[in-house]
Amino acid sequence: MTAIKQQHPIGVGLVERQYVTWTEPLPLDGGAALAPVTLAYETYGTLNEARDNAILVLHAISGDAHLAGWHSSTDRRPGWWDAMVGPGRAFDTNRYFVICSNVIGGCQGSTGPSSIDPATLVAGQEARCYGPRFPIITIGDMVRAQIRLIDHLGITELLAVAGGSMGGFQALEWATAYPSRVRGAILLATSARSSPQTIAWNSIGRRAIMSDPRWRGGDYYGHEAPSDGLGVARMVGHVTYVSEVTLEAKFGRTFQSRDAPHFTLLPEFEVESYLDYQAATFNARFDANTYLYLTKAMDYWDLAARYGSLDAALSQSRARFLLLSYSSDWLYPTSESLLIADALRQFKRPVEHVEIASTAGHDAFLIDHELKRPIVTAFLESLMAG
């Protein structure tokens, strides 16, 4: 499916984003339906003749379909998990067919609040984006759309699903709601539900966006975007992704421009400048309404509530599990992975849990690769061996 225009010596080279659209309505957990539905996706490697080497990688809230490689030779950086995907890497594209799609509700090519609302495509009227008229979505709805993509690609069973954070939510949904379609599940820095603390942080981010007067009730398309609100939401969110150790080591209490305070309310510390940079770069690539909808979907995530208990939920799965947690992750700490692992062991489901020592906090699953590469490589090889 992917047109590789040139081979980069240390990765998958140049890749194309692809799109598939369905006119058939997609039923949503909230009772609404979405139509038409477009998913943006990228693929890496080759689907083998037996069609049994496909891996679906699922992104976190700020990710998208661009998992690895470059879209053009002028790109400043490759895909968000490039260090893990490519020839000879953990997700070895010489052996596996790797797929990544942008979730519904996203803003990088898949149908979301910034997409044109088909109800406004009426003669004599101006086409408008969905904005606040976009229906509320859940993790289950995201996976339901992904099922259509995997069917479109002619794949009956995935060798594995893999994801961290919100991507881990989706991987758990795949493994429990569609057990016959998943052989293995790789869960990184994730949990089986959003805790009250996580919901609280997400709520602060949403309030920041919705309090920005430029949000205009969600109908800001064609006007100035609520960049202040989204910037604050990103700053708050980003602090939850890193550890105190990281912030201390990178910035400490260093002033930005001098060795003594200015005695002003303006930003002075390097850590403040860093958060301002995070806000600006996020505004350049992300949609504020998408942030609202995806954080709400994360808040609704509670696997145990849907089945009556976590044990009952995980008893549905037939997959083998690999869980990776990180010692400094306080957003989705190791205790959350242990709950999943312990429940799986009760039903004698094959599960391996590894806590990786890292000072990077929640972001470790995106940036600390050396220790997890051999673990993921061995797990995938065991799946291929049967």
What pLDDT was estimated at residue 187?
Answer: 98
Task: For residue 204, give every residue at least 6 positions away whose Cβ sits within 8 Å of its Cβ, in sequence order, or none.
Answer: 233, 236
Token digits of residue 62: 């700020």
Interval 86-91 mean pLDDT: 97
Strand partners, 70: 14
- At residue 290, the pLDDT reads 98
pLDDT at 254 over 90: yes
**Average pLDDT, rounded, for the chain:** 95
Q: Which residues contact 262 (CB under 8 A, 6 or more apart)?
A: 268
- Give the pLDDT confidence score for residue 122 in this predicted structure: 85
Report pLDDT for 260: 84
pLDDT at residue 256, rounded to an integer:
87
pLDDT tens-digit series, residues 197-230:
999 999 999 999 999 999 999 999 999 999 999 9
Per-residue pLDDT averaged across 16-23, rounded?
97
* Average pLDDT over every residue of 243-268: 91
Taking residues 32-39, report their average pLDDT: 98
- Give catalytic status of residue 165 as yes or no: yes
Helix (H) or strand (E) holding 323: strand 320-326
Query: Which range among 6-10, 98-102, 371-375 shows the weakest confidence by mean pLDDT?
Result: 6-10
Average pLDDT over residues 38-64: 98
Question: What pLDDT does 386 receive?
Answer: 82
Distance CA(141)–CA(147), nearest Å, equals: 10
User: What are the tokens at 149?
Assistant: 């993509």
Query: What integer is the mean pLDDT of 90-99?
Result: 98
Q: Does pLDDT of 8 surpass 80? A: no
> pLDDT band at 255, cuts 50/70/90?
very high
Which domains are assigned to the chain?
18-194+302-385 (3.40.50.1820), 200-294 (1.10.1740.110)
The pLDDT value given to residue 237? 97
Peptide bond into 36 cis (omega under 30): yes
- Catalytic annotation present for 329: yes
List, for residues 140-176, the tens digit of each pLDDT value. Answer: 999 999 999 999 999 999 999 999 999 999 999 999 9
* pLDDT score, position 4: 36
Helix (H, G, I), strand (E, B) or coil at 128: coil
With H, G, I as helix, E, B as strand and everything else as coil, classify residue 281.
helix
Distance, CA of 246 to CA of 330 (rounded, Å): 13
Dig out the tokens for 305 from the structure: 């509530």
Longest pairwise C-alpha distance within the chain: 68
CA angle 57, 60, 66 (to 5 degrees): 55
Per-residue pLDDT at 51: 97
pLDDT at 61 over 50: yes
Tell me the pLDDT band of 43, cut-offs 50, 70 and 90: very high
Q: Mean pLDDT, to the nearest integer, of 51-57? A: 98
Question: What confidence category does residue 38 fall into, taking pLDDT thresholds of 50, 70 and 90?
Answer: very high
- From the list 82, 212, 362, 363, the catalytic residue is 362
Instruction: Return the pLDDT at 7.
Output: 41
Q: Which residue among the candidates 110, 114, 165, 328 is catalytic per the annotation?
A: 165
What pLDDT was estimated at residue 336?
A: 98
Q: What is the pLDDT of residue 258?
A: 79
The catalytic position among 141, 287, 329, 368 is: 329
Active site (annotated) includes residue 362: yes
Confidence at 2, pLDDT banded by 50, 70, 90: very low
Residue 74 pLDDT? 87
Phi, psi angle pair for 364, to nearest 5°: -60, -35
In this predicted structure, what is the pLDDT of residue 5?
A: 38
Q: Cα torsion at 208, 211, 216, 220 (round to 10°)?
A: -20
Q: Is 110 a residue whose pLDDT tops 90?
A: yes
User: Does the pLDDT value for residue 299 go beyond 70?
Assistant: yes
Burial of 21 (0-12, 13-18, 19+ CB in 10 A): exposed
Q: Say if residue 10's pLDDT is above 80.
A: no
